[in-house]
Structure 1
Amino acid sequence: MKVAFLANGPGEVWGWCRPLIKEAAGRNWTVDVHLLPCPFASGREINALSRLPATISRHRTTVGALRCFFSAAKYDAVLQLGGDLFFGRFLAWRQRVPLACYSYGYKKGMKRCEKVLTSRPGLFSSERLEIVGDLVLDSLEQGTPEGWRAPRGRRLAIFPGSRPNIRRKAFFFLKEIRSHLMKIDPEIELRVLLSPFSKESEARPWNENGFSVWTGTTPAGIQGADLALTQPGTNTLELMYCGQPFVVAVPFSFLRQMPIAGLVGMLDRIPWVGSALRERIIRKAIPRHIGKMSWPNRLVKGSFVPEFIGEYSASQLADEVARILRDPESLETQRKRLHELAAVVAPGAPAKICNILERMAADHERERK
């Protein structure tokens, strides 16, 4: 069986596409991965998938993707794992093959999909909706943990981001946070978990500035941590499934580095005033999303995971982190709620999705005959 997986940003590539490729390879399928144009891309998605048994194609423009789809080899099924469904619909229409999509939310064009797949009940409603489990849960590999130097109550895991421009700015911001935290408590250890989309050379400057660095799996890297500091994104789901208490931070000083889809994201192209105008629009829009920036908060429609969104300096954020580290009861309360949310989903999503694709392809072949 030959399938096309369509993906876009780092979260979909690492958390969704990777476990599916492994499952498909175990069934001796031929897999083509098409990386769609995406403002959230890290630029190293191909590197992240390079060791897996799949042919990876990156399309930087819509025209480039469509040109490739016109000449692509025949597929038995198409699965879209992120991005505009226009691409999946076009490829499936062009080849007259069935289309499925996997998503955490409703998307325009889902009515044209033979199957709409999602992770858990209650996220959205759609025709032909089937709950298959969370691919992020199946993407987590345990790995071998490494002990912390600091004692319990003083261990902070940090996720500086998957995109290089954000990591560069985060490096200097987190240096200030570390400096302030060390004044509060010299025994605190800050462990930076570098993204799988990072270059090997990035570890050195972190090490030289007093951070411990982890480049292995997320579960192993955070094992034993008291708290994690992260940005919004797929890693908030990883932390949830690991039962790791965390906080989300979006200081407004990072707004110009934040990737944004659509017309607002394109404002950067306007000379001189584009970036400032883009930042102004984001500042006005963000208050509506406070309390919804982490996936656990969105799932419960509440805000039990602390989110620090706004004009936070490094020292202010360090004070908040230190305060939470000194409150083991609130950390344990959050841990229990994370475990409750994680327990709703069982592993096995890749196998369920591949079974569905097989049935779709078989049904389509019977209809053709």
Structure 2
Amino acid sequence: MNLVDILILSNGPGEVTTWVRPVVKALRDKLGNNRDEVRISVVLSPCPNASGKEAAIALSYPEVDRVQSAEHFWQFLLWGKTVENWDWSDRGIIIFLGGDQIFPVIIGKKLGYRTVVYAEWEARWHNFIDRFAVMNPQVSAKVSPKYADKFTVVGDIMLEAQKQLNNPQSPSPNPQAPIIGLLPGSKAAKLTQGVPLMLKIAEYIHSKRPEMKFVIPVAPTLDLETLASFADPQKNPFAETFQFSGASLVVSEPSSNYPVLQTSQGIYVELHQENPAYDLLSRCCICLTTVGANTAELGALGVPMLVLLPTQQLDAMRSWDGLPGLLANLPGLGSTFAKIINWLFLRRKGLLAWPNIWAKAEIVPEIVGKLQANDIGEMVIDLIDHPEKLEAMRNQLRQARGESGAAQKIAQIVSEEIGNWK
């Protein structure tokens, strides 16, 4: 068998951790681990949500042979040359797992490779792409019949998270050890507000329910010192907006096997760095999260959540995709653009959390506005005091998440496309 190159195009931290990971594993399971026969490369494109660690994360996957970071993408797109001058086989498949769908069209033409696009909500360039792996039938509903044979419904890649749990049915949390998960995000735009707000909420809940345990599954792109800096009022003046007095990082705490953030009121919040954190998340009775990939992972795991979008600082949210994200992050003018974009967004807000988008209904609460910790804390306590509400939310999440096995189906499509080479 001659060498086949598989080139994966991706971009942000959510895509690299929740899409690329299961797909490369499925590809190796399907196509084998002989690197003389199948070589897997990952090329990243710029993303406003990126932390700069995405390339290292992708390279840590044992199934991946080589990775190029986003800073070198435009050179590759325009000229077909990587910064390390990679060689390419004359046979190959491009798999699109994040970015702009025009990228596989351009790069596929340059390399002469067949193209497979994973499309969640919209599929473009039907006449130029060879195969589309779509999340649900709605994506292909309006496609011209002449392109219908290019489309295969594979389901949601995010659901591969569920398969990494020992129990495929997302166990109910242990009532003897109630855990509340705090997911403030991974980028400064979200952490600035999310960390002090969520820690203040934890303090309020603990004052009413001292038996509660709090955990933060730390994003793989975030180090503990950086996370802790957003809990320090001296480094993050925005903490005062939520009347949060601060917390400090304790790397070795005798009462815990994990590093903790210790608040000024003496509350310990454990910091878990295992990645992916699916087992931990599945043991949470409820999670507080921001908008983004976190909501998809929690939805796939069937974990109840409250989705928080504080608006005390309109220019703080700059992690939008596409042109809005680029404008909001421009030097100098970015703050002004961010305020305008977020003001327009709040006026026309639709559903934000991925489970709600899947279900086309608000099955997990989305709380937007000038949020106060005590109010959110009372909402959490009410849900915990009424476990039937949490169970109803779990059931709705399970119904909304659709079919699983997307990564394996994508690997099958790739195998078929390899077979189309003469």
1:262–1:219 distance in 2 versus 1, CA, 3 Å: closer
Deviation at 1:242, TM superposition (A): 1.8
1 CA distance for matches of 2:45 and 2:389?
41
Q: Does 1:49 align with 2:21?
A: no
Aligned to 1:136: 158
Question: C-alpha deviations, 1:256-289, integer Å up to 9, x for none?
Answer: 2431234433334656553033223212223433
Within a 5 Å distance, the mapping from 1:227-242 to structure 2 comes to: 227-242=286-301
1:155 to 166, 175, 179: 179
Aligned to 1:314: 373
2 CA distance for matches of 1:12 and 1:326?
36
Percent identity reads: 23
Name which of structure 1's ranges 230-239 and 266-275 shifts more when overlaid on structure 2.
266-275
Q: Which ranges in structure 2 are unaligned for 5 or more consecutive residues?
A: 229-248, 251-259
1:208 to 246, 254, 262: 262
Aligned to 2:407: 350
2:397 to 332, 338, 343: 338
1:123–1:296 distance in 2 versus 1, CA, 3 Å: farther
Deviation at 1:9, TM superposition (A): 1.0
1 CA distance for matches of 2:161 and 2:301?
12
Give the match's secondary structure for 1:179. helix
Name which of structure 1's ranges 253-262 and 96-105 shifts more when overlaid on structure 2.
253-262
Q: Does 1:114 align with 2:125?
A: no
Question: C-alpha deviations, 1:315-366, integer Å up to 9, x for none?
Answer: 3322332332222221111111112233x3133x222212211222322x22
1:346–1:265 distance in 2 versus 1, CA, 3 Å: closer
1:278–1:99 distance in 2 versus 1, CA, 3 Å: same
Within a 5 Å distance, the mapping from 1:240-251 to structure 2 comes to: 240-251=299-310
Deviation at 1:229, TM superposition (A): 1.1
Deviation at 1:6, TM superposition (A): 0.2
Give the match's secondary structure for 2:71. coil
1:288 to 323, 345, 348: 348
Give yes or no for contact 1:47–1:197 (8 Å, CA) kept in 2: no
Give the match's secondary structure for 1:33. strand
Give yes or no for contact 2:318–2:328 (8 Å, CA) kept in 1: no
Name which of structure 1's ranges 79-88 and 281-290 shifts more when overlaid on structure 2.
281-290
Within a 5 Å distance, the mapping from 1:172-183 to structure 2 comes to: 172-183=196-207
RMSD: 2.8
Deviation at 1:105, TM superposition (A): 1.2
2 CA distance for matches of 1:321 and 1:230?
12
2 CA distance for matches of 1:244 and 1:32?
33
Give yes or no for contact 2:204–2:377 (8 Å, CA) kept in 1: yes
1 CA distance for matches of 2:59 and 2:309?
31
Give the match's secondary structure for 1:225. coil
Within a 5 Å distance, the mapping from 1:82-97 to structure 2 comes to: 82-97=98-113
1:110–1:236 distance in 2 versus 1, CA, 3 Å: farther
2 CA distance for matches of 1:336 and 1:149?
17
Amino acid of the residue matched to residue 160 of structure 2? D
Q: Which ranges in structure 1 are unaligned for 5 or more consecutive residues?
A: none
2:320 to 257, 260, 264: 260
TM-score, length basis structure 1: 0.87
Name which of structure 1's ranges 332-341 and 178-187 shifts more when overlaid on structure 2.
178-187
Deviation at 1:61, TM superposition (A): 5.9
Aligned to 2:416: 359
2 CA distance for matches of 1:44 and 1:254?
27
Give yes or no for contact 1:37–1:61 (8 Å, CA) kept in 2: no
Give the match's secondary structure for 2:312. helix
Give yes or no for contact 1:70–1:94 (8 Å, CA) kept in 2: no
